[in-house]
Structure 1
Amino acid sequence: MSESVPVHCPACRREHLYAAPSYPCACGAPVAPPLDPRGAPTAVAHRVWEEQWVTVRCASCGRRGQWPTPELGCPCGTVLRVPVAKRPTPPVERPAFHSVTIRTAVDAVTAAALYLHRLGHRDIRRADQRPPSGIGLAARGILAQVDPTVRPASVRDVECLWLTAMTDSSTCVYFSLAGYTEDARTRADTLGVPLFVLDRTGIPRPVNSPADQLDESGAG
């Protein structure tokens, strides 16, 4: 069970004691978003889909998942969004990454698979569901899309990957040879989707904060 924190309603000044509900991870362990006792709650004026989810890491298996954003209904009628604490993730020591030179689409997929293996995923396979573009890879708790085309990945590409991963209760990651449109990068930041660019040497380069975090922490 998560720790209770005091929550002050900005509308009526009432004070509540709130504990975030826990949900079962795919490994079976209960997971609850860590609350920020020093953060100020915000009133929910209107709902935006991506703001209703928060990325939380399971302490038992290290899997990252999307969980409902903590909210509290005050008797005055105000719905309060409770702030979530940002906990630093300690770096994980991993062996050196042995890349492959990318000449073909198969090389791009191989490079992405090698990188996922280095992060700690051992059961990498072709994804059951084929993505709208590129090639899908899957492992326990993660779904990856590899785009070997010369077209930068679009907002739709990122959103489709995220929605598919949500359906499978998995986290996701995108690998692209040609990079991403500016809108796609902005959307990925909002949804917490790690974006990597594969250079011709086969080394995935993180291009947003979620990718930096994944590169540092691995699969747990």
Structure 2
Amino acid sequence: MESVPVRCPACRRDHLYAAPVYPCACGAPLTPPLLRAAPPEPITHRTWTDDWVTVRCPSCERQDQWPQPELGCPCGTVLRIAVRPVSAPARPAGTAAPAPALPPPPPAAARPSFRPVTIRTARDAVTAAAMYLRWLGFADVVRPGNAASAGIDLRGTGVVAQVDPSTRPTSLRDVECLWLNGLAASAHSVCFSLAGYADEARARADGLGIPLFVMDLTGCPQPVNAPADELIMTVT
């Protein structure tokens, strides 16, 4: 699997990023070709049309729109990873394609791999978060259907969650409202955001022990603070 080194321009932290694999219509696994020479771009404003890239399948030559690769840095910055344009040659002429890497064997007693849903709408973001909470082990995660659940997008046994699909960073008020709802329900409070978190929201969540996740358009949440890492490790 192709991976590239990525340095966050906000905190200077280094990451090794591997693009997600998608199934092409022909059945072949497809990975957006990353442009190693291009620096990552912090996302400060989102539009649905700008968050898709054209990728050509090397097996059938079909071109389709796929989510723009993104990386959530633990500092709260969401980075857009550049993709090689389809007009550029994927490899020098006359060279053979590299053999696909075999996936490593799963560790014993581990969860099965999370299978995300592509996010195209705000409703998709809520669906992806619900699937992730169920994957973590929370039962009966559903969208609440009553006015008493204002500020809560998902509720399950032992958990309440807020999903922010907006193009602005999640605010301090949002985090505190979520915490109060969790306190009232004696449940874990979990927050998901597409655009990351304001600095004061991140600091407050760390102090309250609220797990924060960012999601890219592949629908795969990434932890951005210590409570989120602990949640992944402890909930089964």
TM-score range, shorter chain: 0.5 to 0.7
Find the counterpart in structure 1 of residue 206 from structure 2. 189
Residue 229 of structure 2 corresponds to 212
Matches within 5 A, 1:150-165: 150-165=167-182
State the partner residue of 1:173.
190
Asked whether the equivalents of residues 92 and 216 of structure 1 are also in contact (C-alpha less than 8 Å), the reply is no
Equivalent pairs counted in the alignment come to 127
Q: Which residue of 1 aligns with 2:27?
A: none
Residue identity opposite 2:143 in structure 1:
R
Partner residue in 2 for 1:95: 112
Deviation track 1:117-174 (CA, whole Å, cap 9, x = no partner) reads 1011220111343434xx5101011101111111111111000000111011111100
State the alpha-carbon separation in 1 of the partners of residues 132 and 203 from structure 2. 24
Residue segments in structure 1 that go unaligned for 5+ positions in a row: 1-90
Decide which of 138, 145, 154 is 1:121's aligned counterpart: 138
CA RMSD of aligned residues (A): 1.7
CA distance in 1, matches of 2:128, 2:168: 19
Opposite residue 122 of structure 1, the aligned amino acid is A
Superposed displacement of residue 92, structure 1: 7.2
Write the mapping of 1:20-39 to structure 2, written as runs, cut at 5 A: none
Question: What does 1:39-58 align with in structure 2 at a 5 Å threshold?
Answer: none
Identity %: 56
Tell me: CA distance 1:162–1:101, structure 2 relative to 1, closer, same or farther (3 Å).
Answer: same
* Consecutive aligned runs of 4 or more in structure 1 exceeding 4 Å deviation: none
Superposed CA deviations along residues 2-30 of structure 1, whole A, max 9, x for unmatched, are: xxxxxxxxxxxxxxxxxxxxxxxxxxxxx
Q: Is the alpha carbon distance of 1:131 and 1:176 closer, same or farther for their aligned partners in structure 2, counting shifts above 3 Å?
A: farther
| Aligned partner letter, 1:166 | L
In the TM superposition, residue 181 of structure 1 has moved relative to its aligned partner by: 0.3
Task: Quote the Cα distance in structure 1 between the aligned partners of 2:121 and 2:150.
Answer: 19
The 2-side partners of 1:139 and 1:179 are apart by 24
The aligned counterpart of 1:147 is 164
1:106 corresponds to 2:123: yes
Whether the aligned pair in 2 keeps the contact of 1:108 and 1:202 (CA below 8 Å) is yes
Q: State the Cα deviation string for residues 28-54 of structure 1 (Å, max 9, x = none).
A: xxxxxxxxxxxxxxxxxxxxxxxxxxx
- Which amino acid letter does the alignment assign opposite residue 131 of structure 1? A
User: In 1, are the aligned partners of 2:158 and 2:188 still within 8 Å (CA)?
Assistant: yes
Preserved CA contact (<8 Å) 2:138 2:158:
no
The aligned residue for residue 131 of structure 1 is 150
SS at structure 1 position matched to 2:161: strand
